[in-house]
Every structure is written in structure tokens, then in C-alpha cells.
Amino acid sequence: MATCYGLSMCLWPKPKTPPSFTNLSSPLFPLPSLPHRKPDTISLSSSSSASMDSALSNEVAQDFSPFLKIYKDGRVERLSGTDVVPTSLDPQTGVECKDAVISAETGVSARLYIPKTKITTNSTKLPLLIYYHGGGFCMGSPFCAYYHNYLTTLVAEANVVAVSVDYRKAPENPLPLGYDDSWAALGWVQSHIEGQGPEEWLNSYADFERVFFAGDSAGANIAHHMAVRLGHEGLVGVNLKGIILVHPYFWGSEPIEGETDVVENRARAEAIWRFAYPTTSGADDLLINPGKDPKLSKLGAERVLVCVAEQDALRQRGWYYSDLLRKSEWGGNVEVVESKEEDHVFHLNNPVGDNAVALLMKIASFLNQDI
């Protein structure tokens, strides 16, 4: 079975024992081994660890290995994807990156990218890509090798400016905080439209008439909702040309055509959502099931590219989403591209594979369609 990054929707075979919403001993969304320095351990408890009983502090409440473990004393230990790639000018692509703090209060930050060797003057304006990483709302960051390397390659190929958002993650910061952080990041980006924002790269090089949102898996879910919110509430000065949803994490209580109807598998899929969003109404929450969202037609982009993979358990949800848009009063153009014989986020697991390169070229073409 293929492994997938980001607590993705690679449904395992029918489990031998029914899944539990409180203790999923084997994860639904497997990760490959990622380079990392030291497990990221964070406490959810306000009590000092010194005062806790040592036996309790070492007792595991939920084991999502090889992703994370939650201990009974409230600690969260992330086991993968905690590596941090330093900022630099990449000699192979000519892409330079830097980090920025969006909110000191919440800790929300971002990694910015520019194709430095292709920028010749300060008057150069390039399309602006806002990217939201995947990871089941619980894992990953713009700074780990997976996403840093992918964004570097995409920025070089598409010749765009990119902002990769580091929203707060569950379970320490349960949803909907990740959505709130992602919207706050857009407000921070908007502060640069007059050329007087805190980041000179955005002031000098970002074309706010050509803005795109993108993401994979849970990040694609976020990108969709940011586009809906922009269309409903507006974001003055930001012209959203399109969104790119790669293997989007959408779900629903009822199976759609071609989707698994195995009760255990569907329960496990919903369990991941409930883990990230404990107060959700369930699998038909409009944040996970766009078919239940009365604001769907308000999506504020002109074009949508949905990328699906033939062997991905979320494949049908991507097609279903495109059908929902076409049947709504949205009025834009939606395109679906399917990668044959591939699984969820395969392009991150094997970025040099033929299908991954083809997908990268398709996304780059979508970003430059109006140039």
C-alpha cells in the first residue's frame, strides 16, 4: 500500500476491530519517514510537568504513530515532519526564501519565496500564490523539507511569488482556529497592496491583480474555504484569479457514487475530522462537506483547478466538488485533472516521477494562463 504524507485519506483495508473516535491505534492516514531532528513535544495542560506523576506523563492516551502521540498528561509529541529547512537562495532553481511573522500574538507565520534570478528590476510584478499545506490539520509546516522543496520547485517553474502559511494545528489548537489563522494571513498579505506592508518582497514583486490560493489535502480544503469567504466578505485590493485544490480533503456522511461504503472505513475517515475539530457537527459540517454549504456559489475565484489521483480514496470527492460548482450559480470555470495509477499526494512522496512532473507543469500553466 502506498504511503502518503499529511494524515491523508489512504483508506486501509477493513480493520479487524471497529475504530474508536477516542483511540485510533493504527492511523488512517500513513506518512512516509520524514527527516527530522527531534520530536516536537507540546503540552496541552496548564500544569507544570514537574508536578505531574511520572507514570501518568509516560502513559499514551492516543497513538497515531508514526505521526504523533498524545499522552494522558496532555502532552502532544509529533514524531515526523518537524524538521526545519533553513532559508536560503537555492543555487539550482534561483529561488530565494525568507520567513515572516504574521501575528506575534498567535504565532502564525509564513515562508515567502521569490524567483530571485528571474527578477530583473524592482518594477517586476509576478502572480502571487498563497499556499496552505496539508497534514490533516495536525501535521506539517511550510518549513519542513516536503513543503519547502515543493514550493521552491513550483515557484521556479511558474515564476511566481509565494506565501506558504503556517497556521496553528490541532489538537493543541482545534479547528476552526486553522481557518481563522488562514484568513488572518490573507489580511496580512492584503496590507501590502499599496506597497507599504512589512515585507518588501510583497511590496515590490507581488501582483495583487493575479492572486491564487492553493493547497493539498487539508490545505486544499482550507484554500477552498478562503476563496468562499473572500467571495462572501470581500478582500479589498485582492483579485483572486483562481484556486488549485490538490487531492482535497472533503467528506460526507453518505457515500457518493464510486466511493467506499464500508462502515468501518467511513467511520475512520470521519474520526480524523472529529479529532481535528472536536466540536464539529460531524461529516456533514459545511467545512468538510461543501455540498452542505449554502455559500458555495459565492466562491470568489474565476477559475478552479481540481487535481485528483486515480487510487486516492478522496478521488470521488474531488469530482463531486467540481460537479457541485458546475451546478451552482457560481459561473466560473472548473477543470479536473486526474493522475492515473497514483495515490494521495503522490507528487510529494515522489516529486521527480513522471506524473508528479506532469502535475507540476499543469499547475504552473494554470498560474500563468492569463499572462
Instruction: Choose between 64 and 97: higher pLDDT.
Output: 97
Mean pLDDT of the chain: 87
Reported as type and span, the H/E element at residue 63 is strand 60-64
The C-alpha cell at 314 is: 478522496
- Sign, Cα dihedral of 272, 276, 279, 283: negative
- Domain-located, residue 16: no
- Domain-located, residue 347: yes
The β-bridge partners of 75 are: 43
Give the full edge-to-edge strand order of the sheet including 40-43.
40-43, 75-78, 68-71, 60-64
The whole-angstrom distance between residue 179's C-alpha and the CA centroid of its chain comes to 11
- Sign, Cα dihedral of 80, 85, 90, 95: positive
Which pLDDT band, with edges at 50, 70 and 90, does 248 fall under?
very high
Instruction: Choose between 118 and 40: higher pLDDT.
Output: 118
What pLDDT shows up at residue 54? 63
Q: Write the CA distances from 361 to 140, 155, 241, 354, integer angstroms.
A: 24, 11, 18, 11
Residue whose entry in the numeric block shows the C-alpha cell 492516514: 29
**Would strands 303-309 and 333-339 be described as parallel, antiparallel, or unpaired?**
parallel
Instruction: Choose between 7 and 118: higher pLDDT.
Output: 118
What pLDDT shows up at residue 21? 27
- Domain-located, residue 17: no
pLDDT exceeds cutoff 90 at 15: no
**Nearest in space to 101 (alpha carbons), one of 142, 140, 135, 149:** 142
- Domain-located, residue 84: no
Which pLDDT band, with edges at 50, 70 and 90, does 56 fall under?
low
The answer to whether 248 and 224 have CB atoms below 8 angstroms apart is yes
Range of the domain at 181: 96-368
**Furthest-apart CA atoms within the chain: distance in Å:** 62
Q: Please identify every residue annotated as catalytic.
A: 217
Residue type, 236: V
- Domain-located, residue 199: yes
- Domain-located, residue 185: yes
Residue whose entry in the numeric block shows the C-alpha cell 520530536: 39
What pLDDT shows up at residue 306? 99
Residue type, 11: L
pLDDT exceeds cutoff 50 at 47: no
DSSP helix, strand, coil percent of the chain (3-state; round to 5): 30, 20, 50
Tens of pLDDT, residue by residue over 152-196, are: 999 999 999 999 999 999 999 999 999 999 999 999 999 999 999
**Nearest in space to 8 (alpha carbons), one of 334, 212, 246, 182:** 246
Query: How many structural domains does the chain have?
Result: 1
The C-alpha cell at 345 is: 499526494
- Domain-located, residue 72: no
- Domain-located, residue 269: yes
Supply the CATH number for residue 292's domain.
3.40.50.1820
The reported pTM is: 0.87
- Sign, Cα dihedral of 221, 227, 230, 235: positive
